[in-house]
């Protein structure tokens, strides 16, 4: 049976979420807000088949992502033979699913752990409290920010989106997004998320405002009852400690009910990796990439 792939649609986000909820391991890549924000960058499509949703990207090349749904109790060899090409590239395969495939498909996998795509997972309470010597620098920067600036926290609603978009535009000028393929792609993803804000049912956002101007924002989404994912986070570099402030204040205002915060991957950027490691993750969600031949 050949799968029929079609563009993602907002109308099916609730149905998708109910299937995603059945995944035994949930990584940031497969949340609906993430898929929707990046759909035009990767030319993402999905195919609905029985109890699974199959996802593939078509840019810069055709690569299959993990199928979403209840991974247990599936005869994976038969299912993959029926639904995928005889040989295909795969990426962003969560470790849980990789282990099932490795057991069910001996000799069919040519895949490796892809460190660049690991999700970083942190304790919400630790990042709110910033206790002890291990967070001493973060706490100092937060304290300096609070002393220097009279910032107020706002929830990102439709009325606040214009301010967030203005900050994003300024941020791209500071960082010269046009000269970077990565930053240009991220900028488009952020703008698309803001453009469809009212239609994205699980999106959550917050920002810091000084003198009626937004100086930082966070875009997030609950991924399950315990975990919230931070998709985007931007701050005005003129304000020392702004990133420590939006990180701590967003979690304080919007994520108190969650145990973990997933801050996504570093995509191999060494500066970003160092920054993510400096917040001391409590765990990582590993993912695999490579080829399947069946």
Distance of CA 124 to the CA centre of its chain: 16
Q: Has domain 6-118+288-293 been given CATH number 3.40.50.300?
A: no
Q: What value does the mean pLDDT of the chain take?
A: 97
Q: Has domain 119-264 been given CATH number 3.40.50.1110?
A: no
- Output the CA torsion sign for 149, 155, 159, 163: positive
pLDDT tens-digit readout, 164-202: 999 999 999 999 999 999 999 999 999 999 999 999 999
Q: How many CB atoms lie within 10 A of CB 75?
A: 10
d(CA 21, CA 200): 17
| Mean pLDDT of the region 201-210 | 97
Q: With 90 as the cut, is the pLDDT of residue 232 above it?
A: yes
In the chain, CATH 3.40.630.30 covers: 6-118+288-293, 119-264
pLDDT tens-digit readout, 10-69: 999 999 999 999 999 999 999 999 999 999 999 999 999 989 999 999 999 999 999 999
Closest CA to 220 of 207, 237, 239, 238: 207
């Amino acid at each position: 049976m050949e799968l029929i792939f079609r563009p993602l649609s907002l109308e099916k986000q609730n149905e998708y979420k109910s299937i995603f909820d059945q995944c035994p391991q949930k990584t940031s890549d497969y949340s609906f807000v993430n898929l929707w924000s990046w759909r035009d960058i990767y030319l993402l499509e999905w195919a609905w088949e029985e109890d699974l949703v199959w996802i593939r990207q078509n840019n810069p090349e055709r690569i299959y992502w993990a199928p979403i749904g209840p991974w247990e109790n599936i005869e994976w060899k038969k299912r993959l033979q029926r639904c995928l090409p005889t040989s295909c590239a795969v990426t962003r395969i969560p470790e849980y699913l990789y282990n099932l495939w490795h057991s069910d498909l001996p000799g069919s996998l040519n895949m490796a752990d892809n460190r660049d795509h690991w999700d970083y997972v942190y304790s919400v309470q630790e990042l709110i409290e910033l206790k002890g010597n291990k967070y001493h620098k973060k706490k100092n920067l937060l304290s300096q920010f609070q002393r220097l600036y009279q910032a107020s926290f706002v929830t990102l609603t439709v009325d606040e989106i214009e301010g967030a978009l203005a900050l994003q535009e300024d941020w791209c000028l500071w960082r010269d997004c046009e000269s970077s393929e990565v930053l240009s792609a991220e900028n488009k993803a952020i703008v698309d998320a803001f453009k469809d804000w009212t239609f994205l049912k699980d999106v959550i956002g917050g920002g810091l405002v000084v003198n009626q101007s937004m100086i930082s924002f966070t875009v997030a989404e609950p991924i399950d009852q315990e975990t919230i994912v931070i998709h985007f986070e931007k701050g005005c570099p003129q304000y020392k400690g702004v990133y420590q402030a939006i990180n701590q204040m967003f979690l304080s205002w919007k994520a108190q009910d969650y145990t973990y915060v997933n801050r996504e991957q570093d995509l191999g950027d060494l500066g970003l990796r160092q920054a993510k490691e400096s917040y001391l993750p409590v765990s990582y969600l590993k993912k695999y990439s490579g080829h399947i031949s069946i």
